[in-house]
Amino acid sequence: MCVEEVAQKLSQEPLVVEGMLETLVKLGKLVEIGTETCGLCPASSMCILISSGRRSFTLASRVPPVDTKVV
């Protein structure tokens, strides 16, 4: 679902839903999926979310840890 669809389901403005998503990210409940995470997915080459340019989120517990060590 896109932000507009979620906003319609919740009877809210899209900007309100964007704020909700940002809050859930800050609370650690959601993680925004970026291109670095998409590379871990076996279906990334045919994913419509990547090609659409829309922001995508997943539950924080479903994201594998990313090694952030600096060498």
pTM higher than 0.75 for the full model?
no
> With contact defined as beta carbons under 8 Å apart, do 3 and 15 qualify?
no
pLDDT for residue 38: 66
- Residue 38 has, within 13 A of its CA and on its CB side, a CA count of 17
pLDDT for residue 9: 92
Output b/e per residue, 1-37; b: 16+ Cβ within 10 A. Answer: eebeebbeeeeeeeeebeebbeebeeeeebbebeeeb
> With contact defined as beta carbons under 8 Å apart, do 17 and 10 qualify?
yes
| pLDDT in 10s for each residue of the chain, 71 residues | 678 888 899 999 999 999 999 999 999 888 887 666 666 777 767 776 655 667 777 788 765 555 555 54
